[in-house]
Amino acid sequence: MRLLYFAWVREKTGISSEEIDLPAHIETVGDLLRWQKTRGEEFAAAFEKDRVIRAAIDQTHARHDAAIAGAREIAFFPPVTGG
């Protein structure tokens, strides 16, 4: 699966994207957010405020309780500030 990071989530993780095989127990966006915190210092810092972090599954906004089964691309980012 492809994971993407934007804005301060990207800055804190130190990477903008990665290809990764997720542990089988991860079923929802929320599970994935919690798992991210366990991936070392940078990821712990990036996902500390996991409540404010938004996610998109295959380029569509997804809630934290959304199932990730079948997803090819999941992105994490702060609330948007364009316009």
Residues lying near another protein in the complex (CB under 8 A) are found at 4, 6-8, 11, 56, 59-61, 75, 77-83
- The amino acid present at 82, given as its one-letter code, is G
CB of 7 to another protein, least distance (A): 4
CB of 76 to another protein, least distance (A): 11
* Other residues' Cβ atoms within 10 Å of the Cβ of residue 25: 7
Nearer to another protein by Cβ, of 32 and 74: the residue is 74
CB of 5 to another protein, least distance (A): 10
